[in-house]
Amino acid sequence: METVKNSQQLVLQEIGNTPLVLKNKKDLYFKKGEDPLSSANTLEYFYFVMSGKIKIYDVALETSKEQTLYILS
């Protein structure tokens, strides 16, 4: 697992140093409970989760139960 995390960090560093990314890079910070994917800009940008986790879930209308689809970290 540590090897995967190290590989991910190397890829992020390499991508982060490309001129196009450096020119258009924008750091965004969200508090726990905020929804970063509800923004109108979601389709305009590519997001990297640098720390923390994002849970993608669906709520059944009939039962109001939450089903976790993905956890991004």
Q: How many domains does the chain have?
A: 1
Q: What is the DSSP string of 11-70?
A: HHHHHHTSHHHHHH-------TT--GGGSGGGGT------SS-EEEEEE-TTT--EEEEE
Domain span at residue 25?
A: 2-72
For residue 40, name the pLDDT band (cuts at 50, 70, 90). Answer: low
Predicted local confidence at residue 72, as pLDDT: 80
Predicted local confidence at residue 66, as pLDDT: 93
For residue 39, name the pLDDT band (cuts at 50, 70, 90). Answer: low
Question: Across the chain, what does the average pLDDT equal?
Answer: 78
